[in-house]
Amino acid sequence: MTLVADQEQDARTPLVSAIIIFLNGEKYLGEAIDSILAQTMTDWELILVDDGSGAAATKIAKDYARAHPGRIRYAEHPGHENRGMSASRNAGLRLARGKYVGFLDADDIWLPEHLAIYTRILEETPEIGLVFGRTLLWWSWTPGGKKDGVMEPELPLWRILEPPMVVQRMLDTSGRSVPAICAIVARLDAVRASGGFEDSFRTLYEDQVFFNRMFLNHRAMAIDAVLDLYRQHPESACYSEGAEIGDARARPRFLAWLKAYFDERGVTDPALRAALERRLWRAEHPRMERLRRFPERLAYRVFNALPRPVRWRLSKPFYAMMALGQKKPQPMDAAARALRKRFMDGFENEHASGALLGAAAARRFNRIG
């Protein structure tokens, strides 16, 4: 890993190291960096890891680093190589100096209270290794985009989650309980102790490798705040890898890695092993899995073919129907509500509740820019 020669490194130790990896993405990179500059909690450093970008994105990153010496650092792989998402995040982790670390992809946005809320929880809850929340699936950033949605953790909220409960939930929900990578802040020493990312996973499932390592070894907390915008567009890594088709091809490799990791760590929990075997069976019998999911796929196809006004009127009952049989987060008890009040009071954040509207997200982001 090399750094540009004209950079200075601030002598102070920041509370948080923010890491943005990028491969081109010059249309969005400046907005992502600006969203970190707009954080209400200002004790941070930003590491920009260039994964072999073209001249335009590289220039944007270097310009920000030169404009904010010691605060923003530009880094690249030797020879300006492209080594993939995991290797690039690991490179950022090696350079990080903060007590905590957060990851933001170059096309996503942190809302201004992101670091303030997450670091306050970590500071006052030393027994947890990471905290994460809901995230906005941000379609409305472009005119005529789909209606925004919210990724739900499908986990108990405002409670300390003991290992390996989150890993089992991720397996049982086929990954629906996996947080967005932009929606977490973690202790840097916990991330390093868990092994960080796996370099061989260049794109898809690189986040699930990281989360399984973290959730198997560290306590966590899920909260109901929405503090980031996960931009949906056809140039993203997921779409460029073929979306569902690419996911189906990558899944068996990830599950094989997870089984080997369980063996390596000596995981013997019967429920966890059984959950992994169910996921492995589905991956090994794709035709049966497609048959099992055919009614669901057909329902979504019919719904999406309806005129927009009809979809708008039917969206609430339709999604409620499709959620039948899924595990819902347990309602917050008095202790969880008290914890939420303790950490969320004082933050004027219209995204703090789960009832997030795309218009509200747009208004909030417009205040950043």
DSSP 253-316: HHHHHHHHHHHHHT---HHHHHHHHHHHHHHH-HHHHHHHHHHHHHHHHHHHHS-HHHHHHHHH
| Confidence class for position 10, pLDDT limits 50, 70, 90 | low
Assess contact for 122 and 29: CB atoms under 8 A.
no
Residue scoring higher pLDDT (367 or 59): 59
Residue scoring higher pLDDT (236 or 301): 301
Q: Which domain holds residue 267?
A: 2-284+333-368
Share of the chain above pLDDT 70, in %: 82
Residue 315 lies in a domain: no
Q: Which residue has the tokens 């992994």?
A: 276
| Confidence class for position 21, pLDDT limits 50, 70, 90 | very high
pTM of the model: 0.85
- Res. 29: pLDDT tops 80: yes
Most confident of the ranges 258-267, 282-291, 342-351:
258-267
Residues near 240 by Cβ (< 8 Å), separated by ≥ 6?
234
Residue scoring higher pLDDT (164 or 250): 164
Average pLDDT, the chain: 85
- 324 vs 303: CA distance, rounded Å: 16
| Confidence class for position 352, pLDDT limits 50, 70, 90 | very low
Most confident of the ranges 8-22, 225-239, 242-256, 296-310:
8-22
- Res. 169: pLDDT tops 70: yes
30-52 mean pLDDT: 97
Residue 165 lies in a domain: yes
- 366 vs 369: CA distance, rounded Å: 5
* Tokens matching residue 341: 């009040």
Which of 49-63, 113-127, 243-257 comes out lowest in average pLDDT? 243-257
Q: Provide the domain count of the chain.
A: 1
64: domain CATH number?
Answer: 3.90.550.10
Residue 196 lies in a domain: yes
pLDDT computed for residue 210 by the predictor:
97
pLDDT digits (tens, 9 = 90+) for 282-338: 877 777 766 776 787 788 788 778 887 877 677 667 666 665 555 555 678 899 999
| Closest CA relative to residue 137, chosen from 269, 212, 58, 231 | 231
Residue 116 lies in a domain: yes
Residue 202 lies in a domain: yes
Which of 36-45, 78-87, 297-306, 347-356 comes out lowest in average pLDDT? 347-356
- What amino acid occupies position 82? N
Residue 300 lies in a domain: no
- Res. 72: pLDDT tops 80: yes
Assess contact for 222 and 171: CB atoms under 8 A.
no
- Res. 202: pLDDT tops 50: yes
